[in-house]
Structure 1
Amino acid sequence: MSVDAPAHRQPATGAETQTPRARQRSALGWIAIVAGLIAVGIVGASVVGGGEWSQREALDPESAAPDGTRALAHILADQGIDVRIVRSHDQAAASLQGTEATLVLPDAPALSDDAISALTAPAADVVLIDPRSRTLRLIADGAGAVGVADDALVEPQCSVPEAQRAGPIRPRTVFAGTDAAQCYPAAGGYGLLVRETVRSDTPGTQRVSAVDGAALFTNEYLADDGNAALALGLMGRHPTLVWYVPSVADTDLDPLNPSLGELTPPWVSPVIALALTAAVAAALWRGIRFGPLVAERLPVTVRGEETTRGRAHLYAQSGDTAHAALLLRHGTRVRIARLLGLSGASSAAEVADALATLSVSSREEARTALDGPPPASRRDLDDLYDRLRRLEAAARAALHPERNDR
């Protein structure tokens, strides 16, 4: 009689043994990894973009941010001034040609000395709203910033008509220079410099004004004091206003030191990003999950009384009577304060006054016991302990006399 042997079963593969719930968890894990990488990219892009936007908003006539100057640009346009906002020095130079115009010039570190001199040469008026040392040296005949004024109103005290009409302001950065009208004296300098020179290439004069526009002409401060009137007076002298907004991209300087990104091949950055992504995915895939917390029994349980006695023996061995007295006084003061309805943080003087009010003890005696000089010996410490105990007992007896009658 033949018996059919059971067929030998092949071992199941990993894909066959994986349950639907496990496959779902695996898919959710990969989705979480991809979502995390996307979130990191979005946050990085927003941080970089936010920094660039913050730099763009500073003194920008098209920015409504607190440090922008869009309000001033609109007011000038409402006064009939042709406000031309340019973001290229070539475009600014072209707008200044053939007309009596005012050039508003912030700090332009991306332009060379020759470019700044060529840009300002055809302007009838130049208003420096963010004067730096190099710009002042090139245009204002060596003037410079000398300090920062405090937040106080300052009168013009000069003969410049625009400053006299504007009245007092609160300058921040102050300047000093030779051969220039100086207004708003403060902190050893002046909040406004106005210098007129005869132009060599064209007939007439050129007027250069230096003022800290970030503290006076921005949207945040324009409505304060005489800031708006001073800005309109300095920038509205001619029917055309060319407002140059510098940027890092608008430069005539040759890059002397190429950056690391310019030196590396274009395929390096994608490879690095791919390697980081693979490393994060492998770490999450092979990471070991922590198990549940394991409760551990302490080997010894020490009662509070034993701890107190142990500390007392340490104080006795060290002979630190001052520290022991401090602890005794603190404990007695807290207990008496709570007994009298005071806060546990009440001082010794407050507790002594309350005890004197209850006629438990004189104010001087209670104050000496609770906050007197430290004992010099063990006998003095014992005497202090007896006084504190009697003082606390007297306070309890005064507040709860019925307990003493029992």
Structure 2
Amino acid sequence: MSLDVRERRVAGADLSTSSARRGSILGWIAIIVGLIAVGIVGASIVGGGEWSQRESLDPESAAPTGTRALARILAEQGVEVRVVRSHEQAAAELRDGAATLVLPDAPALSDDAISALAAPAADVVLIDPRSRTLRLIADGANAVGVADDALVQPQCSVPEAQRAGAIRPRTVFLATDAAQCYPAAGGFALLVRETVRSDVPGTQRVSAVDGAALFTNEHLAEDGNAALALGLMGRNATLVWYVPSVADTDLDPASPSLGELTPPWVSPVIVLMLVAAVAAALWRGIRFGPLVGERLPVTVRGEETTRGRAHLYARSGDTAHAASLLRHGARVRIARLLGLSGSSSAAEVADALASVSVSPREEARTILDGAHPTSRRDLDELHDRLRRLEAAARSALHPERNNR
């Protein structure tokens, strides 16, 4: 082999090796990019869910379910809107003077915290009334159903409802000791209850209405929704709008977390195991380059494999299979001598031999496709007959080869 050819082969091997390495690097880059993309999508989904939850009835949110429009209209009407996200801060704001408390559902607060929060307020507007909130603040009230999407007149003596006119309520309530407005579906969309407070002079007014269906940004401009909201929330110069959250809670954990139940050394061990698993995956995933073909130290000739196969046939004693192989080889060789196809049948080869007077048709067919031998002696005899038949065909068709 010339030096130029060797150099070309070495260069080709280097190119294939570098191409394989580049492919491996690009594969790892694609895996890393995919993991980052999955993480970003998961974070956006989780973050989007949290943001959507925060936007619901939030006076600082411009989303369809937020209430920024209502907060700004109240501010334009001269009402000081104070948005608070802590129940302690809300209680401090309410102690400054007569103020209205806007209270959504606050599942993270205890019964005592909700009662203490609402106690100092001159007015309390429940814009997301739930059973517990109604029980604590609007004693005797409860939600009874959902109204159809139809305009309903107030049909009550509450001034704010009369000025607002018709609305399309959703959740309806019932109460034994409260003014009830907007009758629909066996209940009322607005409850107004006034009670005399024992701790401070005057009365406290509690209103319950489904604000999610009436006071959000997407519904505020419909029917008499805005007028009703301004009437209920604008009775005092100060409005404290409490926005609850999971973080703002006074509840003790109901049960210890898994981290609190396990010993301190468990978390570091888990982290160490994860790091070891990632390292093992990277180690086992790294390839050492493309496969390289090497010359075998021993070259096996075809004659040796044939003899090895023959010894296996002899050891197994399968004379029938050996006879089939012998007959097939002889038939193919004789057919080619006769100018026939190698796939010709024994009958076709026998007819051709008879036509050139090499052997009678029946005798040739018996040799090429007769009964299988049952012993080693019969197999040797068949082998001799096949060899004589092939030699006779060669002598008859190519006599010049035998004279050489």
Scaled to the shorter chain, the TM-score interval is 0.5 to 0.7
CA distance in 2, matches of 1:166, 1:261: 54
The question of whether the paired residues in 2 share the 8 Å contact of 1:149 and 1:187 is answered with yes
How do 1:309-348 and structure 2 match up within 5 A?
Answer: none
Cα drift, residue 37 of structure 1: 1.5
Paired residue for 2:146?
A: 148
Cα drift, residue 19 of structure 1: 1.1
Deviations 1:170-208, CA, capped at 9 Å, x for gaps: 000000011100000000000000000001100000000
Paired residue for 1:375?
A: none
TM-score, reference length from structure 1: 0.63
2:82 to 72, 81, 84: 84
Cα drift, residue 154 of structure 1: 0.2
1:111–1:122 CA distance, 2 compared to 1 (3 A): same
Paired residue for 2:116?
A: 118
1:55 aligns with 2:53: yes
Amino acid at match of 1:267: P
Deviations 1:37-70, CA, capped at 9 Å, x for gaps: 1112111211111111111011001111110101
Deviations 1:187-238, CA, capped at 9 Å, x for gaps: 0000000000001100000000000000000001000000000000000000
RMSD across aligned positions (CA): 2.4
The question of whether the paired residues in 1 share the 8 Å contact of 2:65 and 2:216 is answered with yes
CA distance in 1, matches of 2:281, 2:44: 22
Cα drift, residue 284 of structure 1: 7.1
Cα drift, residue 30 of structure 1: 1.3
Residue 229 of structure 1 aligns to a residue whose secondary structure is helix
1:222 to 201, 220, 223: 220
1:20–1:62 CA distance, 2 compared to 1 (3 A): same
What residue ranges of structure 2 are gaps of 5+ in the alignment?
1-9, 288-404
How do 1:164-203 and structure 2 match up within 5 A?
Answer: 164-203=162-201
Amino acid at match of 1:129: I
Identity %: 79
1:98 to 78, 96, 100: 96
Paired residue for 1:158?
A: 156
Q: What stretches of structure 1 move > 3 A for 4+ residues in a row?
A: 15-18, 259-286
1:267 aligns with 2:265: no
Cα drift, residue 258 of structure 1: 2.8
Cα drift, residue 114 of structure 1: 0.4
The question of whether the paired residues in 1 share the 8 Å contact of 2:143 and 2:173 is answered with yes
TM-score, reference length from structure 2: 0.64
Cα drift, residue 270 of structure 1: 4.2
The question of whether the paired residues in 2 share the 8 Å contact of 1:33 and 1:281 is answered with no
The question of whether the paired residues in 2 share the 8 Å contact of 1:64 and 1:71 is answered with yes
Cα drift, residue 261 of structure 1: 5.2
1:90–1:151 CA distance, 2 compared to 1 (3 A): same
Paired residue for 2:126?
A: 128
Deviations 1:255-302, CA, capped at 9 Å, x for gaps: 02133355555436745764675687689769xxxxxxxxxxxxxxxx
Residue 235 of structure 2 aligns to a residue whose secondary structure is coil
CA distance in 2, matches of 1:158, 1:275: 72
1:268–1:238 CA distance, 2 compared to 1 (3 A): farther
The question of whether the paired residues in 1 share the 8 Å contact of 2:189 and 2:209 is answered with yes
Deviates more, 1:172-181 or 1:268-277: 268-277
In the comparison of the two structures, how many residue pairs are matched?
273
What residue ranges of structure 1 are gaps of 5+ in the alignment?
1-11, 287-406
The question of whether the paired residues in 1 share the 8 Å contact of 2:140 and 2:177 is answered with no
1:244–1:139 CA distance, 2 compared to 1 (3 A): same
CA distance in 1, matches of 2:182, 2:14: 86
The question of whether the paired residues in 1 share the 8 Å contact of 2:152 and 2:166 is answered with yes
